[in-house]
Amino acid sequence: MIERRQSARARVIYGGVIAYNQRQSTVECVIRNFSEDGAKVEFDNPAVLPDVIDLLIAKKNRAFTAKVAWRQINEAGLAFDTAERDAPISLDWARRLRACESERRELQSRIARLLSEH
């Protein structure tokens, strides 16, 4: 297989948020590999993504505009827009991500309690 990426990707497990529709629609995702040029993302439910999305990675405190290079039912490959590579994360995005992470922790705790009761 011919490698077409400009830089090697590191395997990672980062939480992220994909936004589209002028950031009115969001999908939580897990970033499985990452480089400065792109990423592979996975999501729990099948999602229909447009050709251009925004990706927020809280652990890196960065946001990227990306083109969807390939897609499958529960995952996609993203190529980052180089013009916006160093753009700061908006306060609205940071708040949304923090709320999503808090909700995820609460749900995981609730699931653990339910499982321990049975």
pLDDT digits (tens, 9 = 90+) for 75-106: 999 999 876 555 566 777 777 777 888 888 88
Two tokens, residue 106: 């609460």
Inside any domain, residue 5:
no
**Range(s) of the domain holding residue 112:** 10-117
Inside any domain, residue 1:
no
pLDDT of residue 84: 55
Inside any domain, residue 3:
no
Which residue type does 52 have?
A: V
Tell me the per-residue pLDDT of 3-29, one tens digit each, with 9 for 90 and over: 454 566 789 999 999 998 888 888 899
pLDDT of residue 3: 46
Inside any domain, residue 37:
yes
Inside any domain, residue 38:
yes
Domains held by the chain: number: 1
Inside any domain, residue 106:
yes
CATH classification at residue 44: 2.40.10
The Cα 8–Cα 110 span in angstroms is: 38
Inside any domain, residue 4:
no
Q: Is 78 exposed, middle or buried (0-12, 13-18, 19+ CB in 10 A)?
A: buried
